[in-house]
Amino acid sequence: MEKQPADISLTPLRLSHLHQGPMQHKAVGIPAIVSSVKQMLTYMHAKDAWKAAFALNQKGGFDCPGCAWPDPDDERSQIGEYCENGIKAIAEEAQKKQVTADFFTQHCVQEIGSWTDFEIGKKGRLTQPMFLKEGATHYAPVSWDEAFEIIAGELRNRQSPDEAIFYTSGRTSNEAAFLYQLFARMAGTNNLPDCSNMCHESSGAGLNDTIGVGKGTVSLEDIHEAELLIIMGQNPGTNHPRMLSALEKCKKNGGKIIAVNPLPEPGLMYFIDPQNPGKIVTGGTALADLFLQVRINEDVALLKAIMLLLLDAEEKNEGSVFDKNFIHAHTAGYHDFISNLKNHSAEVCIGQSGVARELVEAAVALIKERNKIIVCWAMGLTQHKNAVDNIKEVVNLLLLKGSIGKKGAGVCPVRGHSNVQGDRTMGIWEKMPDAFMQRLQEVFHFEPPKKHGLDVVESIKTMHAGNVKLFFAMGGNFLSATPDTAFTAQALRNTNLTVHVSTKLNRSHLVHGKQALILPCLGRTEIDLQDGKPQFVSCENSMGVVQMSKGVLQPHSKTLLSEVAIICGVAKKALGNSTTINWDLMQSNYDHIRDVIEKVVPGFDNYNERVRKPGGFYLPNAAKEKHFNTKNGKANFSVLPLPANRLADDEYMMMTIRSHDQFNTTIYGMNDRYRGIHNERRIVMMNEADMLAAGFTKHAVTDLVSFYDNTERVASNFIVVPMPIARKCVATYFPEANVLVSINQVAHTSNTPASKSVVVKIRKHNT
């Protein structure tokens, strides 16, 4: 068994001073308002704070850089479509402090690496391009022109086009994303991994096979109208707070809600609407009618148990539970599915799920009588070895009920980054379909690369093997967001040049290639002037609505360029201004970019005109109309195995999740208010009965250890906190625990890191 060496620059192990209070029984409400106003006023100029708050998610304002939850089509709340974590995202981007060239003179790379992510993030916004020469200890300023030349030089230095990788995080606008993928493909490679590979890739894979579209099929109206919402593996109170208002509307219309989660997430169970002051006085709404505390990665077992009991009822009274007309007209594989289902025993499935039989029966009673059902999910379903099976099992349930392709029903994978869905639509994918590549060829008269490119996990392995010269990241924090931190660090260090287009300093700037560039860019909140005229960009939300986003704040520094300008600058240096794509023209007025997008991407007709309409426009979605673009033209049932999770007495199933005070790797603060955790992130949440059995006292300091590929990976200094989590399940925060996730532990088909089902042992920490 090999031991992985510790590397202090990857994750500082210092502990702060944990305080654990009770879990909260009310989400949002006054503490949320206090928390977000405090955040804005601590980090922003007051006048910017108000300006931003009033333009947030307004028609004609800017799209929140937080999550991808849609805005209402009709009227919007006056103080912006407000949410605590949206405000925190803005306060983070628009903060007063700056990281200038002087900062880099004062602090060497190694010193910055010894700070926590929270400390690094609070240093402020990046202001000018910086270059780290081979062997240098400090970043030094460079001009934009020099920076572009360094990148172009490294591209020329490739022996094969595939020695360059172009990563994207999901905040990049449609306009920037389209130009970026075009540039990468003109430079000869489909190596376009993105954060989606770690996020909803499993949803795309599961949905494409079964219903022929990789996206959700519902609108906000559908959520309001649904008779039953099942929310699986998602913590909307923290990660999609504006979703709670939609859930409340659904309940007002008589809808019911079932929550399926190993943790009773307070933000999902209770809610007080901050946009409705009367509510704050009277107390809120209990959102979930039924809570099913499933064990980590046992959702397939739970869904099978539910479907077996439904089948039982259907067989007693045919046609009373399943939608036989829908099944007959629109689906394939029903008989195989049912005969396989019958091979399973409800008792075994219930036992494996960890949910009490009465509660499974209560869920069955709710599902049986309803036909307008929506299942919402996020990372709790997508980041497991059998994540694609999770999604397909959800589709099986909905197909039995005829709950796809009609009002108030369907699938709702709730997206993460604010434009992660739009980036895919624009061609950010290592394996775009042939039709898209052919359109690129017809419109731009070049031969796009045929070979599929590398996804995130394949990129890391290829860099690790020393086969990549240039790693270019459009946003994001690749080192910290990816699994197996020590392995990924080595992968990045094996490249010649790492380039990051970023708003904020992060750990990926500190664990770098032989040389490294930081290219600072404008954020969503800022005014983007080109040729003296303000530009706007556009984004696609979780429900397929494309909308404009226009910054309102003065840029942080005159040296910042927009993402579009950076791509055009690099592309021009590397490829020149050919007649088919004039990068200067594209940059001068973003309408030109939208004109070419319209020629390539279906659904964007009259893009420039329609995107200017308040509220934007919906993209077509065939499955919504019961047209299933699968190979056989039908919605497909799937036969799926039960998960086989076996844990030894001293092993636990660990999920790596978000606290209430972070946006992915950006740490807003040290608290996780709803779960009652204050001032510490190095914690492991554990059931009290498991603590007792293993002999851990409250707040004991431990080390977490995983064993994969004959390697012992250790994450030291994690404090045990009692939490009402399912038995034998534990939870830690991402990214601190990513060191424990092996690069080889991935979902089949989607290749998504299985960062929510990591088998660990917990040892007392010896000081």
Chain contacts with Mo ion (rule: CB under 5 A): 199, 416
Q: Is 229 in the site for ligand MGD (CB under 6 A)?
A: no
Would you give the distance in Å from CA 174 to the centre of its chain?
A: 17
Please identify, among the stretches 314-322, 334-342, 641-649, 658-666, the one whose residues bind ligand MGD according to the rule CB under 6 A. 658-666
562 binds ligand MGD (CB under 6 A): no
Burial of 697 (0-12, 13-18, 19+ CB in 10 A): exposed
Q: How far is the CB of 731 from ligand MGD (least distance, A)?
A: 6
**CA-derived radius of gyration, the chain:** 25
* Binding flag, residue 288, ligand MGD (CB under 6 A): no
Of positions 658, 675, 681, 728, contacts ligand MGD by CB under 6 A: 658
Report what 755 binds from ligand MGD, Mo ion, none; CB cut-off 5-8 Å by kind: ligand MGD
CB of 399 to ligand MGD, least distance (A): 20
- Two structure tokens written together for 716: 């030291």
By rule CB under 6 A, what string of x and - marks binding of each residue 208-227 to ligand MGD?
--------------------
Q: How far is the CB of 458 from ligand MGD (least distance, A)?
A: 16
Taking a C-beta distance cutoff of 8 angstroms, is the pair 53, 712 a contact?
no
In the complex, the smallest distance separating the C-beta of residue 172 from ligand MGD, rounded to whole angstroms, is 6
Query: Is there binding between residue 664 and ligand MGD (CB under 6 A)?
Result: yes
- Nearer CB in complex with ligand MGD: 327/731: 731
Distance CA 251, CA 271 (A): 12
What, of Mo ion, ligand MGD, none, does residue 662 touch, CB below 5 to 8 Å by kind? Answer: ligand MGD
Dig out the tokens for 184 from the structure. 């990468």
Check: CB of residue 755 under 8 Å from CB of residue 296: no
List the beta strands (DSSP E) in 410-567.
410-413, 470-474, 497-502, 515-520, 528-530, 533-535, 537-540, 545-549
**Which residue is at the shortest CB distance from Mo ion?**
416
Distance, in Å, from the CA atom of 104 to the CA atom of 106, rounded to the nearest integer, reads: 5
Token readout for 600 is 């390539």
Letter string b/e over residues 472-496, b meaning 16 or more CB atoms within 10 A of that residue's CB = bbbbbbbbbbbbbbbbbbbbbebbb
Q: Which amino acid, residue 750?
A: S
**CA gap 475, 457 in Å, rounded:** 18
Which listed option, Mo ion, ligand MGD, none, makes contact with residue 521 (CB within 5 to 8 Å by class)?
ligand MGD
Residue with Cβ nearer ligand MGD (354 or 402): 354
User: How many CB atoms sit inside 10 A of residue 400's CB?
Assistant: 27
- Which window, 228-236, 485-493, 602-610, 709-717, contacts ligand MGD (CB under 6 A)? 228-236
- By a kind-dependent CB cut-off of 5 to 8 A, residue 570 interacts, out of Mo ion, ligand MGD, none, with none
Q: Positive or negative CA dihedral for 302, 267, 624, 380?
A: negative
Near ligand MGD by CB under 6 A: residue from 11, 36, 85, 116 = 85
Closest to ligand MGD by CB, 258 or 338: 258
681 lies in the site for ligand MGD, by CB under 6 A: no
Asked whether position 199 contacts ligand MGD by CB under 6 A, the answer is yes
Given candidates 191, 235, 396, 687, which one binds ligand MGD under the rule CB under 6 A? Answer: 235
- What is the smallest separation between the CB atom of 198 and Mo ion, expressed in angstroms? 7
Residues in 389-428 that interact with ligand MGD by CB under 6 A: 416-417
- Tell me if 66 contacts ligand MGD by CB under 6 A: yes
Q: Which does residue 296 bind out of ligand MGD, Mo ion, none, counting CB within 5 to 8 angstroms by kind? A: ligand MGD
Site size toward ligand MGD, by CB under 6 A: 60
Choices 12-20, 654-662, 671-679, 694-702; region in contact with ligand MGD by CB under 6 A: 654-662
Dihedral angle of Cα 414, 416, 417, 423, to the nearest 10 degrees: -60
Confirm or reject binding of residue 155 to ligand MGD (CB under 6 A): no
Cα distance between residue 439 and residue 450, in whole Å: 13
Residue with tokens 């007209």: 329
The DSSP code for 584 is H
Between residues 197 and 217, which has the closer beta carbon with respect to Mo ion? Answer: 197
- From the list ligand MGD, Mo ion, none, partner contacted by residue 550 (C-beta under 5 to 8 A by kind): none
Q: Determine if 645 is a binding residue for ligand MGD (CB under 6 A).
A: no
Question: Terminal CA-to-CA distance of the chain, rounded, Å?
Answer: 23
Which C-beta is closer to Mo ion: that of 199 or that of 231?
199
Q: Which does 39 bind (CB under 5 to 8 A by kind): Mo ion, ligand MGD, none?
A: none
DSSP codes, 155-217? HHT-SSGGGEEEEE-TT--HHHHHHHHHHHHHTT-----BGGGGTTHHHHHHHHHHHS-SS--
Query: Tokens standing for 525?
Result: 């909140």
Site string for ligand MGD, 248-267 (x = CB under 6 A): ------------xxxx-x--
**CA 18, 380, 757: angle at the middle one, nearest 5?**
75
Q: Which is nearer to ligand MGD, 210 or 742 (CB)?
A: 742
Residue 437 binding: pick among ligand MGD, Mo ion, none (C-beta 5-8 Å cut-off by kind): none
Nearer to ligand MGD by Cβ, of 261 and 535: the residue is 261
Which CB atom, from 35 or from 217, has the smaller least distance to ligand MGD? 35
Query: Is the Cβ of residue 86 or residue 416 nearer to Mo ion in the bound state?
Result: 416
For residue 606, count other CB atoms closer than 10 A to its CB: 12
| 428's tokens | 């950010």
Tell me whether residue 188 or residue 262 sits nearer to ligand MGD (CB atom).
262
Q: Tell me which residues in 354-393 interact with ligand MGD (CB under 6 A).
A: 378-380, 383
Task: State both tokens at 159.
Answer: 């022996």
* Residue 378 binding partner per list Mo ion, ligand MGD, none, with a CB distance cut-off of 5 to 8 Å that depends on partner kind: ligand MGD
Give the integer Cα–Cα distance in Å for 210 and 78: 41
Q: Does 151 bind ligand MGD (CB under 6 A)?
A: no
Instruction: Verify binding: residue 502, ligand MGD, rule CB under 6 A.
Output: yes
Alpha carbon distance 56, 38 (integer Å):
17
With 0-12 CB in 10 A as exposed, 13-18 as middle and 19+ as buried, what is 156? exposed
Supply the angle between the helices 174-186 and 563-575 in degrees, to the nearest 10.
20
Q: What is the DSSP letter of 727?
A: T
Residue 651 parent element (H or E):
strand 651-657
Indicate the residue among 233 and 405 with the shorter CB distance to ligand MGD.
233
Site membership for ligand MGD, residue 203 (CB under 6 A): no
d(CA 166, CA 486): 21
CA angle 498, 504, 507 (to 5 degrees): 50
Cis peptide before 643 (omega within 30 of 0): no
Site residues (CB under 6 A) for ligand MGD?
66-67, 85, 169-171, 195, 198-199, 232-235, 238-240, 260-263, 265, 294, 296-297, 299, 378-380, 383, 416-417, 474-478, 481, 501-504, 506, 521, 523-524, 563, 655-658, 662-666, 734, 738, 741, 755-756
